A and B are shown apart, each in its own frame.
Chain A
């Protein structure tokens, strides 16, 4: 028996390396196994990395939300915007029920929503500041300092209008005039006229209104930003999601209202674009070793910096413009009097001068500029429309920026800004006693006009008016001048900002969902089922979902990727099956005489069958093992070096700047089984054919 099998093995093994067809089949099996091992391991690693990202950033292990919700929870947003969730009326009722489960560590209340922020363009922002100064004068009387500020801003506005006219003249040369209507040109001419500015002081508010309505809209650089925020119990959130860290500024003081902006969001959308592009170029050069000379993306950024200097030019008032011109002339050794041209040539960077220019930009130019549209410590007014169309407006102080460790560059994790739960509840339209008082105050302050303007925006975004929030960022872009730190400022922020809420107050009230952190994540499924039961028993109508479901589309991503991989593997192996089948048929035909001889000498059909099967299985084993070995080697290499996240989206899936994949025994076993099964199946028919070879065929001569 042993000799018999040994013979089979010997014949098979010898055939393995003598037949070219076998080498071909072996090569295919090798590649197939490699693919299964490497692909499977990569996706598994990505799956677990992404689950760390999702769980660690906002989802927790489980999420609960109201069973009366129309949509399903989608913490990272869904296709149609924010999901329509019914509110859970009282967090303090569900918390104890959930916390009773032995595997539940923490329950974090939350709710996500989004608002549009019109940050306003540079003209808007400067006019708003001017308006504030005039208001201040109207209330408190004129001081020399105030006068000086007003004049400075007025000069700034006049300079901007001059720049706009210059641009208009330029565009006339280049393009047809159709871009601007006659009214627009007329307004611009009026704003340029001495008559207008001479009459300015006589009716400052009327003049400002003219500028706001007729001139500011002609500059298209105002961004409409979508601000996603999660309202949550900030203290619990921070202690629960330990990947979260405050980067700039400070955490929101315990129990107080306030916001933490995502560092990613802050840099990406609120920073001066020129500065942001310089940062990006620096990052790509240093981290990814790209060069301006070779990389088209970097070249594009340089080009944009060269041409899009307006953002800087508009921002500077005449005094600062002069300072900037002087500094740039000195840096460049140039006599050029125009700031625009100086900036353009200063920002014409290449690999040789980039580092110096970067340093010079931050040392010389940045102090003259507002680098961010919103400064930490400033307030953001977020205006929301409730379902009934009622305007809710909340002032939230932005205390700082935060990030999740490892997910710094992820746009997905970075899209979420954090807000205290009390402000969130206000915005969502649930009135508290505090809120009612605040509303009365607000109505007193903001005239009818402001509301009318919001109403217009509502009509503009009316298609989704039910749940859309439109937020107006108040000028946080206030100069470091002390103008607004006084009485006006505190009035604007109102007393609510300083109020400290007790944990009880935070807990009592509406939430949209709650994140549950488990002690033992391994028992997620079981705990989920048990929580479903216990909440039902307690009469709470809640849905309990895993982080994967809670994450919406993102959660399905790896599953989809896996399906795609397995489909690809399946197709490859179907092809492999056909190829092996054909190749084995050819091999069998080539060996008809050999098989015939064996049969004539006295080999039974079963022997022939065994021979072919053993041969293919050995083939699968040897080359499959080779593929698995090389695959393991690759994975070991990747595991120690890590795969760099080439773009920002990958940071989330990699849960950091690099993915360190690992190979599990499961991957290897799966690959092994697939290869063996495919080899065996693909040989069945050729093996059957081989058994049909007649011993007569041994007698045939070579001819």
Chain B
């Protein structure tokens, strides 16, 4: 929202990422270039091992590239310290995980409040207002005092969505957010993300291999062998996949 629409939130230039397994160097990304602009709703698709998660990790500042430049919210992540990267994650990025990753000993409310506490920007009343606002948006205002283990998988992922968005991040990353959910529930989650994308203007990047999920994206980047194969619109992607799978 604060970012000017013209400058990209994420800019990746000629990025490679190698993993070292023992003495073997495994290339995960072999030269990727892309840009993401504010308000986009982007899906990354590709078979497992194609580099989806690696790409998301680099964008999410939890990992750094081997070569090339990863710039998030105008900052070159290579030049940031561990501490600064953590701060960047806290203030700019929201995460939604495949396995929800809620803190099991905290209530729904406390889980959503967690990033706000880390940020130390809002006082107690403001935090409460913000958390409840988010919980209402994801339809869990009545479950604020529940523990994660008292919720269904879909409910948990909605809590995770609320947690990712509570700090009003410019960018939300979701790695296979629907993989652990049935298709109907997964659909709800994607609908919710889409709704928030449209209402709040938050940029979303999510990985998936589900064609139905992809169809909600503005754009689909297909990855294969650590390279971007193509950039398609949602319709194109669906068509391409339909062809591929049948």
Contact = CB atoms under 8 A, between A and B. Distances in A.
Interface of A: 1, 3-4, 7, 10-11, 14-15, 18, 593-594, 597-605, 607, 694-696, 698-699, 701-702
A602 B89 contact: yes
Contacts of B103: 11, 594, 597-598
B86 A599 contact: yes
B101 A3 contact: no
B118 A601 contact: yes
Contact of A7 (B82, B87, B90, B114): B114
Given A696-B57, A698-B97, A602 B115 contact: yes
Nearest to B103: A594
Interface of B: 53, 56-57, 60, 62-63, 82-83, 86-87, 89-91, 95, 97-99, 101, 103-106, 110, 114-115, 117-120, 124, 127, 163, 175, 179
A632 to B, nearest CB: 31
Given A3-B124, A602-B86, A696-B57, A701 B114 contact: no
Contacts of A1: 120
Highest count of chain B CB atoms <10 Å: which of A593, A602, A604, A698:
A602
A15 B147 CA distance: 13
A602 B90 contact: yes
Nearest to A695: B62
Given A4-B120, A607-B118, A597 B101 contact: yes
A196 B57 CA distance: 121
Which 3 pairs across A and B sit closest by C-beta, in order of nearness?
A602-B90, A14-B105, A695-B62
Contacts of A18: 104-105
Contacts, number: 84
Contact of A10 (B97, B104, B106, B175): B106
Contacts of B53: 699
A601 B163 CA distance: 9
Contacts of A11: 103, 105-106
A603 B86 contact: yes
From DSSP, what is the main secondary structure of chain B's interface residues? Answer: helix
A699 B97 contact: yes
Contacts of B114: 7, 598, 601
From DSSP, what is the main secondary structure of chain A's interface residues? Answer: helix
Given A600-B62, A602-B118, 6 more contacts: A1-B120, A4-B120, A601-B95, A602-B89, A604-B83, A699-B56
Contacts of B87: 602, 604
A460 to B, nearest CB: 81
A696 B97 contact: no
Contacts of B97: 597, 698-699
Nearest to A698: B101
A587 to B, nearest CB: 12
A598 B101 CA distance: 9
B159 to A, nearest CB: 13
A694 B89 contact: no
A601 B62 contact: no
A600 B60 contact: yes
Contacts of B60: 600
Contacts of B163: 601
Contacts of A602: 86-87, 89-91, 115, 118-119
Nearest to A700: B99
Nearest to B175: A699
